[in-house]
Amino acid sequence: MGLRLSRYHVVSPLTMDGATGRARRVAFATRSAEVRILDEAAWQMVAGAPESLPESIVQDLVDIHLLVDDREDELGIVVQENKKAIDSLGCLSLVVTPTAQCQLGCGYCGQEHSARWLSSPHQDAFLRHVSRKLAKHSYNYMDVCWFGAEPLVGLRVIRELSPRLRAAAESHSCSFGARIITNGLALNKRIAQELVLEHGVVGIDITLDGPPEYHDTRRGTKNGKPTFRRVFANLVDLAQSDLDVTVKLRINVDGSNWQGVSRLIRILADAGLQEKLVCYFAPIHSWGNEAHETALPAERYAALEVEWYAELMLAGFKVGPVPSRTRIVCLAVQPEGVLVDASGALFNCTEAPYVPGYGEPNSMAIGDVVSGEIPGRRRELATFNDDIMEAKYNCASCPMLPVCGGACPKLWREGIAPCPSTLHNMPQRLLLALAANRMTQ
């Protein structure tokens, strides 16, 4: 068989080894998410004449799929791997929005909030729906994500439903874990402890949009009160607690707050949160609304993001600039994963509930807890991998597909390319990974 460089690769710009003075590159095989540092001469052979490479190097590069059989249908293999992972998924993903209410009035939010909570009859119906799923397939893990609007405004519902979901999982010999995506305003020490110790929460995501002067103008309460001080205090308490939980801080960025990100990183570092906190950045995107119109141009955002990751790294935070293989892009492609909103409507997409742009009743709903799922309704988003195979989206020809997964089936359907920053800054991320590696040696 002949060998060639895989179409699924990204390579860094040329860089010099400080110890030897030799020119080298970092190559990223996206099919395996493996990284290799190669001398420039070796890289030139990989790219143009793999048969000239020493056998030991060839074998390694074949193993990580940087070099492939020149007859291989690589897109077909990647998509098949994705579909196989979906078919053999052992995790039942449940997303629950206990309430349609949120204390905040973020300008970019696409949701319309209302004073509605998941009722007791709808909780009962949801449990029956979940039990049918558990009986239908053999799952080894139930992942419950408490989501919003703001889930802690619906803490009463979490208290009622969490033990019943856990019991349902246990009755099918399925282990249980929960996560929560919260604005952090109500997440005081007592509630954080309750979530982790009583409700099996193993991951908490909180959002700050910058230091107070930026955060408070973007993420104030509905009646205009600032929230930074309280959210930050809660975040510090959580990060300094001995609770066994992963804490992630999401920093949303667009054209009106990017100037504040570096200062926020310094504030986080000065508070000594390096050990417990994982920070990541998210460019503002369309949420069924026009929010993406305030976004930074993708290339500019990507360049800034690399700077911020470098700043995090230098401040002592752990950063993971190299993405992993993504076989299951999101809830939308999971055969049984489901979101229930506070009215009992069911969805297979987390960004569809409470979005007025999808009409009333919500056109993205796939059913409701009382009548069940409408046959065929999942398919609109769930056939995403087939759509890629049919080259409906740019993902079919993109070297990032194995690690990106296609990012967001819904946005592609709406005609918005959801490409993550890695499409633009992967070569620089590879240099950052090299530097991170050097710093830990």
Q: CA 309 to CA 433: how far, in whole Å?
A: 10
Distance CA 208, CA 212 (A): 9
Q: Report the run of H or E that residue 238 belongs to, with start and end.
A: helix 228-240
CB closer to ligand SF4 out of 188 and 350: 350
Nearer to ligand SF4, 265 or 411 (CB): 411
Q: 192 or 338, CB closer to ligand SF4?
A: 338
Using the minimum distance from each CB to ligand SF4, give the nearer residue, 269 or 298: 298
Helix, strand or coil, per DSSP, at residue 30? coil
- Cβ partners under 8 Å of residue 199, min gap 6: 158, 159, 162, 178
Characterize 55-76 residue by residue with b for buried, 16 or more Cβ atoms within 10 angstroms of its Cβ, and e for exposed: eebbeebbebbbbbeeeeebbe
Give the footprint of ligand SF4 on this chain (CB under 6 A).
330-332, 349-351, 381, 394-395, 398, 400-401, 404, 406-411, 418-419, 423
Distance CA 291, CA 274 (A): 31
Least distance from ligand SF4 to the Cβ atom of residue 120, Å = 27
| DSSP 8-state assignment for residue 208 | -
Q: How far is CA 432 from the centre of its chain?
A: 21
* 59 vs 3: CA distance, rounded Å: 11
- When the beta carbons of 50 and 405 are compared against ligand SF4, the nearer one is 405
In the complex with ligand SF4, which residue's Cβ is closer, 46 or 398?
398
Based on CB atoms, which residue is closest to ligand SF4, 117 or 147? 147
Report the nearest approach of ligand SF4 to the CB of residue 413 (Å): 8
Minimum distance, C-beta of residue 387 to ligand SF4, in the bound complex (Å): 11
Q: Strands 91-96 and 141-146, how do they pair?
A: parallel
Closest CB to ligand SF4 among 119 and 394? Answer: 394
Q: What's 397's DSSP letter? A: G
Q: Mark 302-338 as b/e (b = at least 16 C-beta within 10 Å).
A: bebbbebbbbbbebebebebbbebbbbbbbbbbebbb
What is the phi/psi pair of residue 132, to 5°?
Answer: -65, -40
Compare residues 200 and 406 and give the one whose CB is closer to ligand SF4.
406
Amino acid at 425: N
Label residue 141 exposed, middle or buried (CB < 10 Å: 0-12, 13-18, 19+).
middle
